[in-house]
């Protein structure tokens, strides 16, 4: 398939592109054998064929990218990943196209359930006529099936208690980032909710639903389960579906606590989107960008609060440890192999 593609490109655009294509051959070959060794060869090669299909379908001439659907729960450093993809694309002029799906309220018709509207919105964005290479969202899992245009799923999670605490303060105080349109809408929504200035401890101690209710107890398992009705039923079932979705669909799910290693893995799995990601991540310029996504105010939690919350977050932790174990397994294989692969050069 790649040889055929190579020949085509030569005929159309001549020697210069031919050289690039040859390079990509080797690149893809090494990439595929690595992925094969860690058992995700099939999904990656299907992404590759998807790509050429996508090119035909959209008339895009853009090469060497694939759609990454990066869907992470809030406050897990997902925004940092998104900013990094943009930063790398700016610096390397790789023209990786990216966008986020944040506020969907404006396109949400009244009386339509999330199960109906969200998959439709996500599918529209993935199958857009403007090819996108990277989509960032907090929306939950949406199944694409096996069609040739379906994306590669990537996500990141964080210790559930820490995430809940961070999210609580984020809702009140936001981050230090400049107010984008999305952020303004978010602020307005939060103000309407008349949030108190209580600490997270106060909130948990007074048993307020915001902190101890269903939503906060099942955030993670629902995220990876999706929008079907069964994702709002017994947590045991939701947890099982979430695990199955991760196994069957996700190229990788990182953990915030191992952010640097996650980046190294992404560099190997998606060498175009994450070209030299660790290097760029550690530059002073990028550190400043990251700083702006930190939650402004965040108070430590008491051990009494922890004692109340940890049992409530039982299913969240079970999924978190499942993801962590899977991440360690992948990481070991990917990083062991990494040294054998030449860095990606565009």
Ligand X SMILES: *[C@@H]1O[C@H](CO)[C@@H](O)[C@H](O)[C@H]1NC(C)=O
Q: How far is the CB of 113 from ligand X (least distance, A)?
A: 11
3 or 146, CB closer to ligand X?
A: 146
25 or 289, CB closer to ligand X?
A: 289
Q: Is 100 helix (H, G, I), strand (E, B) or coil?
A: strand
Residue from 32, 52, 92, 237 binding ligand X (CB under 6 A):
92
Q: How far is the CB of 307 from ligand X (least distance, A)?
A: 27
Sequence-separated (6 or more) residues with CB below 8 Å from residue 244: none
Q: How far is the CB of 57 from ligand X (least distance, A)?
A: 20
The residue behind tokens 């440890």 is 321
Whole-number Å distance between alpha carbons of 252 and 87: 21
Say whether residue 188 binds ligand X (CB under 6 A).
no
Whole-number Å distance between alpha carbons of 75 and 296: 12
Q: How far is the CB of 35 from ligand X (least distance, A)?
A: 17
Total of chain residues touching ligand X, rule CB under 6 A: 16
134 or 320, CB closer to ligand X?
A: 134
27 or 162, CB closer to ligand X?
A: 27
Answer for the pair 325, 227: CB distance below 8 angstroms, yes or no: no
Say whether residue 180 binds ligand X (CB under 6 A).
no
Say whether residue 106 binds ligand X (CB under 6 A).
no
Neighbours of 48 (CB within 10 A): 17
217 or 275, CB closer to ligand X?
A: 275
Cα–Cα separations (whole angstroms), residue 203 to 153, 212, 271, 300, 308: 34, 8, 44, 13, 11
Neighbours of 346 (CB within 10 A): 14
Say whether residue 178 binds ligand X (CB under 6 A).
no
Say whether residue 283 binds ligand X (CB under 6 A).
no
Q: How far is the CB of 85 from ligand X (least distance, A)?
A: 9
Say whether residue 133 binds ligand X (CB under 6 A).
no
Say whether residue 113 binds ligand X (CB under 6 A).
no
Site string for ligand X, 136-175 (x = CB under 6 A): ---------xx-----------------------------
Whole-number Å distance between alpha carbons of 160 and 232: 19
Q: What is the DSSP letter of 299?
A: P
Whole-number Å distance between alpha carbons of 121 and 107: 9
Say whether residue 206 binds ligand X (CB under 6 A).
no
Considering only residues 326 through 345, tell me which ones interact with ligand X, judged by CB under 6 A.
343
Q: What is the DSSP letter of 175?
A: B
Residue from 15, 194, 311, 342 binding ligand X (CB under 6 A):
194
162 or 175, CB closer to ligand X?
A: 175
Say whether residue 213 binds ligand X (CB under 6 A).
no
Whole-number Å distance between alpha carbons of 228 and 42: 27
Considering only residues 26 through 85, tell me which ones interact with ligand X, judged by CB under 6 A.
83
Neighbours of 240 (CB within 10 A): 14
Say whether residue 196 binds ligand X (CB under 6 A).
yes
Spatial CA neighbour of 39 closest among 263, 343, 346, 337:
337
27 or 86, CB closer to ligand X?
A: 86
Q: How far is the CB of 176 from ligand X (least distance, A)?
A: 15
Secondary structure in 3-state letters for 242-272: HHHHHHHHEEEEEEHHHHHHHHHHHHHHCCC
Window contacting ligand X (CB under 6 A); options: 7-15, 117-125, 237-245, 275-283: 275-283
Dihedral, 250, 255, 261, 267 alpha carbons, nearest 10:
30
Residues contributing to the site for ligand X (CB under 6 A):
83, 86-87, 90, 92, 110-111, 145-146, 194, 196, 275-276, 279, 289, 343
């Amino acid at each position: 398939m790649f040889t055929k593609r190579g020949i085509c490109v030569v005929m159309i655009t001549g020697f210069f592109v031919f050289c690039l294509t040859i390079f990509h051959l080797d690149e893809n070959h090494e990439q595929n054998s690595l992925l094969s060794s860690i058992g995700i060869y099939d999904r990656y090669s299907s992404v590759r064929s998807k790509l050429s299909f996508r090119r035909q379908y959209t008339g895009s001439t853009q090469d060497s990218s694939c759609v990454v659907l990066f869907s992470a729960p809030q406050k897990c450093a997902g925004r940092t990943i998104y900013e990094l993809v943009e930063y790398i694309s700016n610096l390397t002029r790789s023209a990786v196209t990216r966008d986020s799906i944040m506020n969907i309220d404006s396109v949400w018709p009244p009386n339509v359930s999330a199960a109906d509207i969200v998959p439709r919105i996500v599918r529209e964005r993935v199958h857009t006529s403007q090819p996108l290479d990277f989509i960032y969202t907090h929306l939950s899992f949406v199944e694409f099936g096996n069609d040739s245009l379906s994306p590669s799923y990537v996500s990141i999670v964080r210790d559930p208690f820490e995430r809940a605490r961070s999210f609580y303060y984020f809702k009140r105080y936001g981050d230090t980032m400049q107010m984008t349109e999305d952020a303004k809408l978010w602020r307005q929504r939060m103000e309407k909710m008349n949030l108190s200035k209580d600490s997270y401890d106060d909130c948990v101690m007074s048993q307020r639903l915001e902190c101890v209710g269903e939503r906060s107890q099942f955030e993670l398992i629902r995220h990876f389960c999706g929008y079907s009705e069964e994702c709002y039923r017994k947590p045991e079932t939701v947890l099982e579906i979430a695990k199955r979705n991760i196994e069957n669909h996700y190229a990788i799910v990182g953990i915030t606590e191992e952010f640097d290693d996650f980046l190294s893995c992404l560099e190997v799995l998606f060498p175009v989107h994450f070209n030299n990601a660790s290097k760029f991540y550690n530059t002073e310029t990028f550190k400043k960008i990251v700083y702006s996504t930190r939650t402004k105010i965040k108070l430590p939690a008491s051990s009494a609060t922890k004692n109340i919350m940890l049992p409530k977050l039982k299913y969240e932790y079970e999924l978190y440890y499942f993801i962590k174990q899977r991440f360690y397994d992948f990481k070991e294989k990917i990083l062991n192999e990494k040294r054998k692969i030449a860095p990606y050069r565009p």
